[in-house]
Amino acid sequence: MTEAAVQNATTPAAAPSSASRNNRVAIVLLLLSTFVVFLNETTMSVALPKIMTAFTISASAGQWLTTAFALTAAIVVPITGWLLQRLNTRPVFITAMSLFTAGTLLGAVAPTFGVLLLARVIQASGTSIMMPLLMTTVLQLVPLADRGRMMGRISIVISVAPAIGPAVSGLIVQSLPWEFVFWLVLPIAAAMLVVGIVKVPNISEPRRAPLDFLSIVLSAFAFGGLVYGLSALGSNAEGDELVAPWMPLTAGAVFLVLFVIRQLVLQRRDAALLDLRTFRSRTFTMSIVMFIVMMVALFGTVIVLPLYAQKVLGASTLESGLVLLPGGLIMGLIGPIVGRIFDRRGTGPLIVPGAVLVSLGFWGLTMVGAGTSVWFLLLPHIVMSIGLGMLFTTLFTVSTSALPPHLYSHGSAILTTLQQVAGAAGTALFVALLAAGTVAAGSTNPADPAPRELMQGVHWAFLFGAIVSLVPIAIGFFVRKPKAAEVTDEELATGSVPVAHH
């Protein structure tokens, strides 16, 4: 492929100023499909108590339905970058939605917890392909001037869909068996698959690309070890000492170092699974750190808040789901508005104020108790959701805008990978603290603790989130809207073979 051809395929200038009808169809279908698969990601949180009862499992075991989902996606996402280069748009879409639909069907008929966990892994394999496909398509087709508004719409998918998942799940499991969380999603997923087969256009040019199997193995052990170790903290707190948490955490850290070293070597000849030269951009790096903390906050809250509402306050599954609904809807409504503000005024009115609101929401949650009204939870959660809505759209746009066009795919893959890892870490950390606090309060039955015992675990989890939420406030002062890419071709080529543009 010639240098000129590569430039034409990767730079925003090559994209038409107004997308064709086919391009608009592709973006709309990808947005809708990605919304559906991401909505499914957090539906387990409200249904978890019923699943725990049905299969006689503890909270730390049940949270693997969320953790395994996020972990699988984190492992598969880097491979998706290679997949998008080798295949055209429609086959990639069909692969993703076929996997998601198959996993949904298996989950609906799962006779054991192990089969249900396998179903979530298959679902995650499809979900992990959809997000990079959407991001790459948007970066190829949407002019830079409209990028903020489009990222606002994408933020609806990434942040709102997981946020309202518990509310949707609550509406379902209030009067139907938990299996209907899958049965009701199944026809929607199948319909999206059929429409996509007919309507999704091919907008990319497949080309030969290397796939480093060693990088895949290293990433699997790295992310798997870290997340399993975090989950083992919760199991250990409950008295389940099948494995000491430090062992998988240490192994994961070691494999992560090896994975990074491998990528540094491969990127010298432009063959890395994830090109880490994206982190030469200070704006990208700081945006990623803020994004990780926010995703830990979002996923941790989404799993702990419904458990607290149901197990401590005695709320129904419907009520606990509805508590999260207003915040999720507000997050969606302000996404496009935030995108327009960013396009006009940059990060000033958004980054630090958004981080402050998230922190205020968390500190508000640390004040809840066994006698708190279920509906009082609306206030801190709405405040937190407004802050998250201000941050997600801004961070998506800032991080990619700080990169040169030929690193867009790597930046998107890194962003999506870390989103899934942070979600898994948030779930694992919050549940681990929940379990540790429950045991510290004297619980002898962690699978079904008394409300007073569980309340201490809830307080520990929310206090941790409140303390960690102070970090993005400090970082936010250093994140600014870049006027141009902060990583140049000359910097990329320093000390390495000249970069062949993707």
431 or 353: whose pLDDT is higher?
Answer: 353
What is the token pair recorded at 227?
Answer: 């997340």
Taken as a whole, the chain contains a residue count of 502
Name the residue among 384, 236, 368, 361 with its Cα closest to residue 312.
368
pLDDT at 115 over 70: yes
The pair phi, psi for residue 75, each rounded to 5°, is: -75, -35
* Contact present, 288 and 391 (Cβ < 8 Å): no
Model confidence over 306-316: pLDDT tens digits?
Answer: 888 888 888 87
pLDDT at res. 221: 87
The whole-chain average pLDDT of the chain stands at 79
CA 163, CA 475: separation in Å to the nearest integer?
Answer: 24
Model confidence over 288-302: pLDDT tens digits?
Answer: 998 888 888 877 887
pLDDT at res. 304: 86
* Banded pLDDT at 20 (limits 50, 70, 90): low
* C-alpha pair distances (Å), 445 with each of 52, 133, 231, 454: 13, 44, 18, 11
Model confidence over 359-395: pLDDT tens digits?
Answer: 999 999 999 888 888 888 889 989 998 998 888 888 8
Model confidence over 120-150: pLDDT tens digits?
Answer: 999 989 988 887 888 777 777 777 667 677 7
pLDDT at 238 over 70: no
Residue 347 CA to its chain's centroid (Å): 22
Give me the percent of the chain exceeding a pLDDT of 70: 85
Model confidence over 155-164: pLDDT tens digits?
Answer: 777 667 766 7
* Domains detected in the chain: 13-493 (1.20.1250.20)
pLDDT at res. 309: 86
Q: What is the mean pLDDT of residues 203-212?
A: 73
Model confidence over 185-204: pLDDT tens digits?
Answer: 999 999 999 988 888 877 76
DSSP for 206-240 reads: -------HHHHHHHHHHHHHHHHHHHHHHHHHTT-
pLDDT at res. 17: 40
Q: What is the mean pLDDT of residues 224-238?
A: 66
183 or 328: whose pLDDT is higher?
Answer: 183
* Contact present, 451 and 370 (Cβ < 8 Å): yes
pLDDT at res. 10: 38
* Coil, strand or helix at 105: helix
* Banded pLDDT at 26 (limits 50, 70, 90): confident
pLDDT at res. 13: 40
* Banded pLDDT at 2 (limits 50, 70, 90): very low
Sorted by sequence, the CB contacts under 8 Å of residue 339 that are 6+ apart come out as 148, 149, 150, 151, 152, 153, 155, 393, 397
CA 186, CA 195: separation in Å to the nearest integer?
Answer: 14
Decide: pTM greater than 0.85.
no
Q: What is the mean pLDDT of residues 323-343?
A: 82
DSSP for 287-342 reads: HHHHHHHHHHHHHHHHHHHHHHHHHTS---HHHHHHHHHHHHHHHHHHHHHHHHHH
pLDDT at res. 118: 95
pLDDT at res. 204: 67
Model confidence over 46-99: pLDDT tens digits?
Answer: 788 888 888 888 776 787 787 787 678 767 877 877 787 778 888 989 999 999
Q: What is the mean pLDDT of residues 101-114?
A: 94
* C-alpha pair distances (Å), 439 with each of 55, 226, 426, 442: 22, 23, 20, 5
